Structure formats: C-alpha cells, structure tokens
C-alpha cells in the first residue's frame, strides 16, 4: 500500500483556536508537533466567532473576578458542568487573553485604554474581550502567525479518519489528503483532538461543512467516553430568511448592545418567559431593563440576555403560538433602539451580513431571527487539569471536549475554553510523549484496515449517494431530536438512525480519489451517525428538562438528574451504550460562591 509516513511526539487534529493553542504549548514544551486540518489553515470554525472571549479581567467592572465568572458559568450550565473545568477556565481566561495581546492581537479598547469588555447573556458583568464582531478572526490570525513562526508543521486539507491505538494507548493517526486522496499516517504517542462540533447533524445550523463530529466519533472508536451528549445548544438568533441563508448566526452582541426581541404583535415577549431560577437577577419591566445598559449596578439585566436555552425556547413557543413572522421567526430590533452610526460601528459584520444576504438594513428595520443549531456541550470526557481522555495518549480540547459547559454554554465561554484547555492539552500531550518516547510504532495491519475502510465506498456499486443520506439524517435530527423532545419521537429517531446506518454501509461513490467531495462526505457520514445516535440515546435516557435538553414529556428539572451525568461509550458489539455517572463533588469553598447574593 502506498502510504506517506511521518513521526511526531504530538499530533494535533484541528487548527481552530483549541488546536493551535495546543500546538503552541506542545511545541514550546519541546515536543515535535504537527497540526492536521481538514480545510485551509485559518479557515477553522473559530474564525467565524463574532462576539468575544469571556474573561473576568475587571476592565469594565472592577468587582468582576474569577469567582463571579465561575458562578455564572455553572449556573448557565445548570450545575452539570465539571466544577474543576469551570474553575480553571474562570481563573486562567484573563491570562490567556493578555497573552494573545502580547502575541499581537488588537482588541477594542475602553476610553482609558484597557481591553474593552462587552455584555453577553448569562454573564453578570460585561466581560467579553472583543474586536468589533470579528473576534474569532483576530484570535485565529494571532495564533496562526505564532504557530507558523514557531515552525510547527501543518498538514492542511488533510482529513484524519482514525486514531491508531495498541494495548498501551495511542500510537498515531491515519488520514488522507483531500486533494489527491492519498493516504498518510503519523506515528505519535500523543494525539490531541481539537476537531470542533457536530452541527452538520442538523438541518438548520450556524456551523460550516467541517462540523461533522469527527473527533467525537474518533474518540469513541478509540475507547474514550462522551459526556453530556444530550445537550445541544440552539442559538436563539439565526437568520430565517431567505431560505438559502437560514441558520446563519446573528450574534448575541446585537442583544448585548441593546437589541430586543418582539413578536408579530410588537410585544417584547421575553418578559413572559423569565424562569424562577433567574428571576432575582432579571429586570421585571422594560424601563428597568433599558436602564441596565447605562447603570448595571442598580438595575437588573434585560430578559433578552437570559442564557441561550431560555431565549431559544421562548422564541420557539412564540412561533408555535402563532405570534411569529410569516417566515417562522420573530423580530430582533436594534434599529429603533440605537443610532445607525452606533450599530454600524459595533456590529459591522451583522450590518453587511443582512444587507448583502437578505437586503435588510438593520439600522432602519428589524431582523427576522429564529433558533439554529450552534454548539454541542457534549464531548470527550477528559481530566480537567490535563485534558486527557481515558485512552492513554489521547487528549481533547475545545468544542470536541465535554464537561466544561454542563447543560448549556454561555456566549463567549467557548473562545476562552479553547485557549485555557488548548494550552493545558498541549502541555500534557508533550509530557505524555516524553514518557512514551521510543515505545510506540505503527502496526501495518491496522494501517491496512484503515485504508480498506476508507476505500470501501468505491468498492460498492449501485448504492445510494451520500448527499441523500446526509439530508435524511439532518431532517431526522431536526424533526425528532431538536429543541423540544419527547420519548416517542426520540425512539423513532433511533429507529431511523439504525436504518440510515445500513444505508451508509451500502452507499457507493463514483469517480476516483482525486478531490472527490462525495467520497469525503461518505467518510464523514459514519461520524455524523454515531454522534447523532449518542445525542438521541442520551436524550431518551434523561427524563427531565435542563439547559440544552428540553423534554415535553418531562418539562421540569429533576433534582436527581441534577446530580447525574450521562456518558456514552462503545459497547462490545460495536453499538453505543449510555451509562449514568454521579457528578464530581464540588469542594465546600467553591460551593459557598452559590450562597452569595446574585
């Protein structure tokens, strides 16, 4: 078999914020490091991030500190987050932002020259460091420049299809060049998964083509567990019209900067959806909510800035009750609330996005918005301090890792998560590689098996085309395992997923290995199917509603489930099993934070 071979200490799969930060850390710790990414370097999902990086720097409000950020994050996740991850994240995020600045990132400034921090849902104080509404672009630019300057090897437009293991743990990775279709293998004692999320399992999503759950599935296949998979974040505000742009994100900064949600009767409906859990910290009247933008100390936050799960459900209910727009959304209005110049300065990308894609001038008229699948809270179960999965030598950071965000992620907490845990993963991966130096080798049989599996779609004739199968899977997840779920619907989804698995096993692709998108999708589909199955199985098991998981047949949170996580793992017969696991015990000094006033 023709195969390109390489040897490294650490192979990082993914070149978004988590992957690049991991690669920098591993390289700085002396590891021979490679980064592999499906698309061109710089094109990762991170580049699309708009609003900012959450970090309790105290620039806007000196009373902000890591404890408040920790508390907000845990409450946003309805207390299912791994407390230690939330603690490390809140403690280390400010240093990671300052470090980015040292490496050349140019953040927006406060009038007295500090890094500016903006408001976002669920954060008590304005704490998102940002660059207009193009923060991800600046983050990626900075990390990419540093990665390249340090001399880390980059394999771009190259897809990893398998993490290789032996009885002792990871031995490397196997993949193919997307352009030529040729195979490539990396021998390495440490592999860091930083592959992002699973959005392409759903029909309406803010995610790009790359988000097919590869890392989730590769980890599962290698023997790792996936935690919290039932929790999928539907961002409340995606574009709804025209159909070709449905799902594209409308940043939460629009609401952070004063935008409000209205139904077709013009009512600011979020006041009708304030849950008891957040009542004490949410404004009761429009006057109080509006005063909050100028005086946060003496007023409570507007309900439009409740955590995303609450706002997405409220929009869903308004539309269902017949109070939506003709295109099935609601109105997001900043035009009547802020001067045109302010909107263009604070939200330049949104202004252009609506002007170019929908012919809507957001400084003059309201946007039409509705929920869109945005982020997966579930991911590889890792040790909080090292980002190590249960398979020795396997690490995971960023959106592919689970535990940090519990049942719901707060806006801005992903970019900070990437930096904090990307760095920790890179350092621990380098350390593991030192211990395993000279002890790993690629096994020919395993390489041959990986190649056979990759070529299988060419060997079959007359099968379905992969695009039809992907479409049917997305429709199934949208209809049956979406924002609101019930047991009969999820059971039906599992039956359909099983049928789709048979269709995937039989599908065939035409042509040859040189740049063949149909073949690429055929190899992505098993990943999408297995993550969809994990989501559905965990969603069926959790008989309560919490964060990004709403069961119409169990509409309230259940205290017992509030102490339990679900972990998916491969079963002996190659299926997916779900096990209950008690939450890790939070130490008393951290538990005290929740007794203080909101």
Using CB under 6 A, which of 23, 24, 34, 50 touches ligand FAD?
50
CB atoms within 10 A of CB 243: 9
Using CB under 6 A, which of 77, 122, 189, 196 touches ligand FAD?
196
Q: Which is nearer to ligand FAD, 52 or 132 (CB)?
A: 52
| 206 touches ligand FAD (CB under 6 A) | yes
Beta bridge partners of 261: 332
Contact (Cβ atoms closer than 8 angstroms) between residue 23 and residue 194:
no
| 247 touches ligand FAD (CB under 6 A) | no
CA distance 217 to 162: 9
Establish whether 308 is a catalytic residue: yes
Q: Which of residues 213-242 bind ligand FAD (CB under 6 A)?
A: 214
Q: What angle do helix axes 83-102 and 135-150 make, rounded to 10 degrees?
A: 70
Short-list 403, 434, 425, CA closest to 192: 425
| 270 touches ligand FAD (CB under 6 A) | no
- Rounded to the nearest whole angstrom, what is the least distance from the CB of residue 521 to ligand FAD in the complex? 13
| Active-site residue, from 71, 262, 308, 338 | 308
Burial of 215 (0-12, 13-18, 19+ CB in 10 A): buried
* Residues 6+ positions from 541 with CB-CB distance below 8 Å: 230, 566, 578, 580
Q: Which is nearer to ligand FAD, 193 or 473 (CB)?
A: 193
| Contact window for ligand FAD (CB under 6 A) among 110-118, 207-215, 268-276, 456-464 | 207-215
CA distance 459 to 448: 15
Half-sphere CA count of 122, side-chain side, radius 13 A: 26
| 25 touches ligand FAD (CB under 6 A) | no
Using CB under 6 A, which of 9, 11, 12, 19 touches ligand FAD?
19
Contact (Cβ atoms closer than 8 angstroms) between residue 558 and residue 543:
yes
- Rounded to the nearest whole angstrom, what is the least distance from the CB of residue 452 to ligand FAD in the complex? 18
Q: Which of residues 500-559 bind ligand FAD (CB under 6 A)?
A: none
Stretch 134-163: interaction string toward ligand FAD, x if CB under 6 A: -xx----------------------xx---
Short-list 25, 133, 11, CA closest to 419: 25
Place of tokens 């100390």: 297
| 465 touches ligand FAD (CB under 6 A) | no
| 418 touches ligand FAD (CB under 6 A) | yes
Stretch 342-381: interaction string toward ligand FAD, x if CB under 6 A: ---------------------------------x------
Tokens of 372: 């869109």
Tokens of 379: 């991911």
190-193 sheet: strands from edge to edge:
153-156, 33-37, 10-13, 190-193, 394-396
CB atoms within 10 A of CB 66: 19
Instruction: Give the E-state strand segments of 464-511 in sequence order.
Output: 484-485
| Contact window for ligand FAD (CB under 6 A) among 35-43, 258-266, 351-359, 504-512 | 35-43
- Rounded to the nearest whole angstrom, what is the least distance from the CB of residue 298 to ligand FAD in the complex? 28
| Contact window for ligand FAD (CB under 6 A) among 188-196, 423-431, 502-510, 544-552 | 188-196
Tokens of 138: 């600046």
Active site residues: 308
The site for ligand FAD (CB under 6 A) is made up of 13-19, 36-39, 44-46, 48-52, 135-136, 159-160, 194-196, 206-207, 210, 214, 249, 375, 398-400, 411-415, 418
């Amino acid at each position: 078999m023709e195969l390109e071979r390489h040897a490294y200490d650490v192979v990082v799969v993914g070149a978004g914020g988590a992957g690049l930060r991991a690669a920098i850390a591993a390289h700085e710790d002396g590891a021979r490091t490679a980064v592999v990414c499906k698309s061109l370097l710089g094109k990762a999902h991170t580049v699309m991030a708009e609003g900012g990086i959450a970090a309790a720097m105290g620039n806007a409000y000196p009373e902000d500190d890591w404890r408040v950020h920790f508390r907000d994050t845990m409450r946003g996740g309805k207390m299912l987050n791994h407390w230690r991850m939330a603690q490390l994240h809140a403690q280390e995020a400010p240093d990671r932002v300052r470090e980015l600045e040292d490496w050349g990132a140019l953040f927006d400034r406060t009038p007295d020259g500090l890094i500016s921090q903006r408001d976002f849902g669920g954060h008590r104080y304005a704490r998102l460091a940002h660059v207009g509404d193009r923060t991800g672009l600046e983050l990626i630019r900075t990390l990419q420049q540093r990665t390249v300057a340090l001399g880390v090897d980059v394999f771009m437009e190259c897809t990893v299809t398998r993490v290789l293991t032996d009885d002792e743990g990871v031995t490397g990775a196997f993949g193919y060049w997307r352009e030529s279709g040729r195979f490539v293998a990396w021998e390495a004692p440490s592999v860091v998964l930083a592959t992002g999320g699973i959005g392409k399992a759903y029909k309406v999503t803010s995610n790009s083509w790359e988000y097919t759950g590869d890392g989730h599935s590769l980890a599962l296949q290698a023997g790792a567990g996936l935690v919290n998979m039932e929790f999928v974040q539907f961002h409340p505000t995606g574009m709804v019209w025209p159909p070709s742009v449905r799902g594209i994100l409308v940043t939460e900064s629009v609401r952070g900067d004063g935008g409000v949600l209205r139904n077709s009767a013009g009512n600011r409906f979020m006041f009708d959806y304030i849950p008891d859990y957040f009542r004490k910290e949410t404004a009761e009247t429009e006057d109080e909510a509006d005063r909050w933008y100028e005086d946060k100390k003496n007023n409570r936050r507007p309900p439009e800035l409740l955590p995303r799960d609450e706002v997405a459900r409220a929009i869903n209910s308004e539309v269902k009750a017949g109070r939506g727009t003709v295109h099935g959304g609601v109105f997001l209005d900043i035009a009547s609330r802020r001067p045109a110049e302010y909107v263009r300065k604070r939200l330049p990308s949104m202004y252009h996005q609506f002007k170019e894609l929908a012919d809507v001038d957001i400084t003059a008229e309201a946007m039409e918005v509705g929920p869109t699948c945005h982020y997966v809270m579930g991911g590889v179960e890792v040790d909080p301090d090292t980002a190590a999965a249960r398979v020795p030598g396997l690490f995971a950071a960023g959106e592919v890792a689970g535990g940090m965000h519990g049942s719901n992620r707060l806006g801005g907490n992903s970019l900070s998560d990437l930096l904090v845990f990307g760095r920790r993963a890179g350092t621990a991966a380098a350390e593991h590689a030192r211990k395993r130096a000279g002890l790993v080798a690629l096994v020919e049989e395993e390489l041959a098996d990986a190649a056979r599996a990759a070529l299988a779609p060419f060997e079959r004739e007359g099968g379905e085309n992969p695009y039809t199968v992907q479409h049917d899977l997305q429709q199934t997840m949208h209809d049956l395992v979406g924002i609101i779920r019930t047991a009969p619907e999820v059971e039906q989804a599992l039956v359909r997923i099983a049928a789709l698995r048979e269709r995937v096993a039989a599908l065939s692709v035409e042509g040859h290995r040189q740049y063949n998108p149909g073949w690429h999708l055929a190899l992505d589909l098993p990943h999408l199917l297995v993550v969809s199955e994990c989501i559905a199985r965990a969603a069926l098991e959790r008989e309560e509603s919490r964060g990004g998981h709403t069961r119409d047949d169990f509409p309230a949170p259940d205290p017992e489930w509030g102490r339990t996580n679900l972990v998916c793992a491969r079963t002996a017969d190659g299926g997916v099993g779900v096990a209950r696991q008690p939450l890790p015990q939070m130490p008393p000094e951290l538990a005290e934070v929740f007794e203080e006033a909101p």
